[in-house]
Structure 1
Amino acid sequence: MSRATASPNQDRAPEVATERNDGAADTPTGGAAGSAPAAQGRGRYQLMVLAAVCCLALGGVFVRVSEVGPVASGAYRSLFAAPMLLGLSLAATRRSTTRRSTTRRSTTRRSTTRRSAAGKDKLPEHKPSEHKPARISTRDKWIIALGGLFLAGDLCLWNISFLYTSLAEANLLANLVPFIIAPLCFFLFGDRVTGKLVFPALLALGGLYVLVILGTGLDADHLRGDILALVTAVFYALFLVVAKGLRERHEATRIMASLSLVCALVCFAVAAVMGEKIWPTTLRGWLLLIGLAVTSQVLGQTLMAHAVKFLPLQLAALFVLLQPVAAAVYGFVLFDQHLSLVQMAGIAILLVSIFWAKNLLEGRK
């Protein structure tokens, strides 16, 4: 799916600013000198999020021009992304192990020096412990299979929706996840749902009516695409629930690599049953599929997951809402997809309702 799944951390932005201001308080101009680099850092992360949004919105473009069917395109997107994600996971594990080893050696040297200065015996040497990723249990393997099924359902329906509705509508409707996550967590985990969520939900229903009913004029094909994009949001919400549980026990990129492999297998099976063209016949066809995996599944997700850790949560959420806007630009420039004033009004209402709901679910008024 093209939506970012990482959890932004609002507290990290102040941390960055604090670290860059260390040592500047002793001079009269230290605060001003420290704030400039911090502002430049935030600007860099904002540009990173914007680039991520543009990459994520490219998914529909690649699906429309792909030589293979929409479901098969989703299969290759997940298949090609899996080894890339696994490589990122292995690299992160090596960096973490190296950092812990360096910290341990430094701490041991300081302790030894202090004890020697005090005339005590040298500390005994300890063999560094190996920090290996936690082994995936049989239960978690079944959960990964379930999550891969949900992710495959998400990709299959979403990619097919691009053939019937506009890129902007498909991206927007598939992002109505906040209104599905809340009741899901209530029924599955007993999480409390704020009553204030009713108001943005009613606003979202109004936006859906304006966009889907009034905006499409009940055109059968267009309506079919909008419905597929809406059902996509349900599958993606289910996937997020599964991924959240797995993420609490395992490293993110490792889990995403496993989920991507399961998703690819399911999508290939569905594409075969639907009789889609599965095998690209030209170099251009292969390059398009690689581009889909790199931009939407790896580059967009990675940039987003990294950048939102250093930005205020509200600002990151606003940037994420630009994805349907970027998709609308792609659709207009590349496929001559025009949006009527009624459709644009419906999109605006839905964007407001989604942002309102995200604020409530994240604990802000």
Structure 2
Amino acid sequence: MPTSTPTAAIATPRLAFPALLLANLFLPLGPVLVRLSDVGPVAAGFWRLALALPVLIALALPGLRRAPPTRGEWRALLLAGIIFGVDLGAWHIGILYTRVANATIFGNMSALFLPAWALLVLRQRPTRAQAAALVLATAGALVMMGGSYELSARNLHGDLLCLIAGLSYTVYLLIVQKARGRLDSWSVLAVSSAFSAPALLLCALALGEAILPHDWTPLLILALSSQLIGQGLLTYAVGWFSPMILGLSLLLQPIVSAVLGWLLFGEWLTPAEWLGAGAVAAALVLVRLPARA
């Protein structure tokens, strides 16, 4: 079984790294779909979970029967669910009050928080390849987003909410990574989602948001792409990689968001931004090399 801090002695499944990359290709679809939905932003987060939950429970039942969570694991998954609800709620609201680039950067601060946790708390020293990849990817992300990022009083409310979301998501991933030491990915995702959904619904009602949609299409795609596929793949992969590699992989999401803006909204990328995207891609190749050796 995977541990929360994978070691060289444990053989990482061949599909784990592709699953990690694919998760970060699907998850950035969320902001676009939230804006296309005709419900409130927190309500969109609730439907993301609620619509996916029946499928998640069906997939999780065999694992839950085989390895029921202990009392401590139930508490951890409850906490993970509440924190994930905070992440979704804060980020979905923040998206409406700041620029897309700002929301993407602050909402993905886990890319920096996770390596910092590995270095400062877990005392994990990166290999030369990992250190080089981290520097290369950070530089690429800064170049990629430097032209579109805007810090101003007008965006402050949304920026702070997205920063809270990024911090919450970091804590959520660390809890899930530990739970994945014994439980399978569907069990972890289904139980934590079951705890998140009611919290988001109560928050949406308290905010007076529109709950019932007229057009279900964006919400159905949101549940499929972000929760079932994106979060499902990430929950599977999180058990096999260190926080440093997980954080590095999250840098894919701002790149994908920028490309989506180019494809969907005609927001053309400059040569420098393409160079930054190439640097992040090269870093992901570089960080994978030790695992192949």
- Whether contact under 8 Å (1:204, 1:354) holds in the other structure is no
2:123 matched to which residue of 1? 192
Any unmatched runs of 5+ in structure 1?
17-44, 94-130
- Per the TM alignment, residue 336 of structure 1 is displaced from its structure 2 partner at its CA by 4.9
Give the Cα separation in 1 of the matches to 2:24 and 2:122: 30
Match of 1:250 among 168, 178, 183: 183
Aligned to 1:278, what secondary structure does the other structure show? coil
Instruction: Write the mapping of 1:102-121 to structure 2, written as runs, cut at 5 A.
Output: none
Give the Cα separation in 2 of the matches to 1:221 and 1:81: 35
1:149 aligned onto 2:98: no
- Per the TM alignment, residue 168 of structure 1 is displaced from its structure 2 partner at its CA by 4.8
- Whether contact under 8 Å (2:40, 2:204) holds in the other structure is yes
Tell me: CA distance 1:337–1:222, structure 2 relative to 1, closer, same or farther (3 Å).
farther
Letter in 1 for 2:86: G
Task: Compute the TM-score of the two structures, normalised by the length of structure 1.
Answer: 0.59
Give the Cα separation in 1 of the matches to 2:60 and 2:24: 22
Give the Cα separation in 1 of the matches to 2:117 and 2:21: 30
Tell me: CA distance 1:140–1:11, structure 2 relative to 1, closer, same or farther (3 Å).
closer
Letter in 2 for 1:324: P
Give the Cα separation in 1 of the matches to 2:119 and 2:262: 40
Letter in 2 for 1:133: R
Tell me: CA distance 1:261–1:172, structure 2 relative to 1, closer, same or farther (3 Å).
same
Give the Cα separation in 1 of the matches to 2:156 and 2:145: 10
Match of 1:56 among 12, 27, 36: 27
Letter in 2 for 1:327: S
1:326 matched to which residue of 2? 256
- Per the TM alignment, residue 86 of structure 1 is displaced from its structure 2 partner at its CA by 1.7
Letter in 2 for 1:141: W
1:88 aligned onto 2:59: yes
1:137 matched to which residue of 2? 70
Aligned to 1:250, what secondary structure does the other structure show? coil
Give the Cα separation in 2 of the matches to 1:168 and 1:291: 22
- Per the TM alignment, residue 294 of structure 1 is displaced from its structure 2 partner at its CA by 0.7
2:209 matched to which residue of 1? 276
Instruction: Write the mapping of 1:20-59 to structure 2, written as runs, cut at 5 A.
Output: 52-59=23-30
1:264 matched to which residue of 2? 197
1:122 matched to which residue of 2? none
Tell me: CA distance 1:303–1:208, structure 2 relative to 1, closer, same or farther (3 Å).
closer
- Whether contact under 8 Å (2:33, 2:219) holds in the other structure is yes
Give the Cα separation in 2 of the matches to 1:161 and 1:261: 23
Match of 2:43 among 66, 69, 72: 72
2:276 matched to which residue of 1? 348
Aligned length: 277
Any unmatched runs of 5+ in structure 2?
none
Give the Cα separation in 1 of the matches to 2:233 and 2:117: 28
Give the Cα separation in 2 of the matches to 1:62 and 1:181: 27
Give the Cα separation in 1 of the matches to 2:165 and 2:219: 21
2:92 matched to which residue of 1? 159
Q: Using the aligned pairs only, state the percent identity.
A: 29
Deviation track 1:269-299 (CA, whole Å, cap 9, x = no partner) reads 222222221222x2x2x23212110111112
1:233 aligned onto 2:161: no
Tell me: CA distance 1:307–1:253, structure 2 relative to 1, closer, same or farther (3 Å).
closer
- Per the TM alignment, residue 234 of structure 1 is displaced from its structure 2 partner at its CA by 0.9
Give the Cα separation in 2 of the matches to 1:308 and 1:85: 17
Deviation track 1:124-177 (CA, whole Å, cap 9, x = no partner) reads xxxxxxx94233333322222211111111111222232244445533443332
Give the Cα separation in 1 of the matches to 2:25 and 2:107: 16
| RMSD after superposition | 4.8
Aligned to 1:67, what secondary structure does the other structure show? coil
- Per the TM alignment, residue 72 of structure 1 is displaced from its structure 2 partner at its CA by 0.9
- Whether contact under 8 Å (2:173, 2:238) holds in the other structure is no
